[in-house]
Chain A
């Protein structure tokens, strides 16, 4: 920055040269802008086509504007049922996988024990396995045991693939954990459980919430593994896949747009809440915490 300022003060340049210089300095910002546009375009297309009035069964070409599909987004019962089922499944599996994953993360970060490396490996390997393989392997087992696939097998499968991601997110929060706070609680006479409940858990909460959100998103979005292990049970992605063969109803776009809006609002709310909490508490460096929540919502960062 300093170098550039000196340089520009030194010489008055011609207009094209100045434009070129500006372009060079801001190239990366411009590129970033295009990249973000690229990422948002499909979402815009989904939203726009939720107002489409398609002539046939296929919602691919723009025919005309209508609000019909927004007036009754839950008109298609199969679709609504699938959506409800997906939400139930995601809520239940998130509860279980977040509990199991948090315990795993605690053990891995805080204790040295025999089999630690093996446990780490067992947690990482499902994330490095393609979904088709996981889905196929589970189906193989269910077939051999004569278990007929349905809600139960979906539940088992979803918890299984969520656990690893929960561990990764919670672990990244635990690694930066200041253990002297727990020691202080113990010194002040709190027993192990009280310390956990009143010190450890509240401090871990952002990590656990982020992990739970991620687990929920993974479950509600899962198609591949569910496709193998669903039997006749239909989740939201499975409904869409089935419908894609015979033409997707516009209501799918409506629901997707609604979901998108709700997610964005929820994320904005989380960020706003956190800013407020920070202003009140001001215990940690401001920037760090904000980014953490946003980041922790996505997989992979713990492995980085």
Chain B
């Protein structure tokens, strides 16, 4: 193989995939950017007029939904972490020969369609269901109160639906921990608790960072949970974008909102990675490469 041919090999390998991503991801983003600055209606047609008011107007109109989306997604991410970390830990270190079976039990539910899982929660939290009755007896829900159509039900749905995205990266990072490191810590007279805080937790940090991102990002943009488990008062930004695109056909405003959403998510991610340390996310890869 000649030197030039050899140098071209990666581009041949990359070519088809990258072209697909450019044509159907980058180019659409450009068109959406254009659309966000147009004015007009579906019947009259849209014209490109640098209509910046699309951004200011739609933001002013949907600021509550924006804030709500980030709050709901943030709470759901924290809850998912609290559920996932101990579970991943138990599977990685306590499950013994049941490890694979448990891993299967964790993943399997998520091969049932997302919408059906959410509908199952609708059934569970339904006004006539057992859960509402129990909560009423315990006095956690007032007589005539409901569980559906509350911020709680939407957050519960978000937490449940994105849980595997939290569990698996954490499990993967825990699984790779060299047990001798923990033994070394104990030999050096650290208590089990100190060994956890000083050894196990830092080593699993990349898993936590990846898991929180993988949970938070889809949760912010989600609109199924708010649609099935909430009411108008729990509408998230995804609901707004969806209905502007597909129901009212107000494409420019919807495009503007999509852009703002993406920018806000990117900003959150950048700040978070700064705070968590980029090696926490990339460390594993950098070390192996």
Contact = CB atoms under 8 A, between A and B. Distances in A.
Contacts of A227: 242, 246
B16 A103 contact: yes
B211 to A, nearest CB: 7
Interface residues of A, number: 95
Interface string A38-63: 11111101100100000000011100
Interface string A99-127: 11101101110110100100100110110
B104 A294 contact: yes
A23 to B, nearest CB: 14
A157 B24 contact: yes
- Identify whether the interface residues of B are mostly helix, strand, loop, or mixed: helix
A159 B262 CA distance: 21
Contact of B86 (A28, A163, A268, A299): A28
A137 B261 CA distance: 13
Nearest to B192: A3
A264 B108 CA distance: 6
Contacts of A35: 83-84, 86-87
Given A36-B87, A300-B165, A122 B122 contact: no
B163 interface: yes
B87 A248 contact: no
B: contact size bracket: 35 or more
A28 B24 contact: no
B186 interface: yes
B135 interface: no
Contacts of A240: 113, 115-116, 119
Contacts of A164: 21
Interface string B116-147: 11011111101011000000000000000000
Interface stretch (A10-18, A64-72, A138-146): A138-146
A256 interface: yes
B115 A237 contact: yes
A175 B288 contact: yes
A194 interface: no
Contacts of A157: 24
B14 A107 contact: yes
Interface in B211-265: 211, 213-214, 217-218, 220-224, 228, 238, 241-242, 245-246, 251, 254-255, 258, 261-262, 265
Given A32-B91, A129-B262, A137 B100 contact: no
B69 to A, nearest CB: 10
A263 interface: yes
A259 interface: yes
Nearest to A31: B86
B115 A42 contact: no
B221 A130 contact: yes
Interface string A162-192: 0110010000000110000000000000001
Interface in B165-206: 165, 168-173, 175, 186, 192, 206
- Identify whether the interface residues of A are mostly helix, strand, loop, or mixed: helix
A254 B165 CA distance: 27
B13 interface: yes
Pick the most buried of A138, A159, A240, A304: most chain B CB atoms within 10 A of its CB.
Answer: A304
A253 B122 CA distance: 14
Interface string B155-171: 00000100111001111
A244 B119 contact: yes
3 A-B pairs closest in CB distance = A130-B221, A32-B90, A42-B120
Interface of A: 3, 28-29, 31-32, 35-36, 38-43, 45-46, 49, 59-61, 99-101, 103-104, 106-108, 110-111, 113, 116, 119, 122-123, 125-126, 128-134, 136-141, 143-144, 156-157, 159-160, 163-164, 167, 175-176, 192, 217, 220-221, 223-224, 227-228, 236-237, 240-241, 244, 248, 252-253, 256, 259-260, 263-264, 267-268, 271, 290-291, 294-295, 297-301, 303-304
23 contacts: A36-B105, A36-B106, A38-B83, A46-B112, A60-B126, A111-B13, A113-B11, A119-B18, A122-B25, A130-B217, A130-B261, A133-B32, A140-B251, A141-B24, A141-B28, A221-B114, A224-B238, A252-B116, A253-B116, A256-B113, A259-B111, A268-B104, A304-B284
Given A28-B94, A119-B14, A303-B169, 20 more contacts: A32-B87, A43-B108, A43-B117, A45-B124, A46-B120, A100-B17, A128-B213, A130-B221, A132-B223, A140-B32, A144-B35, A156-B24, A159-B24, A160-B21, A167-B17, A240-B113, A240-B116, A299-B168, A301-B168, A304-B169
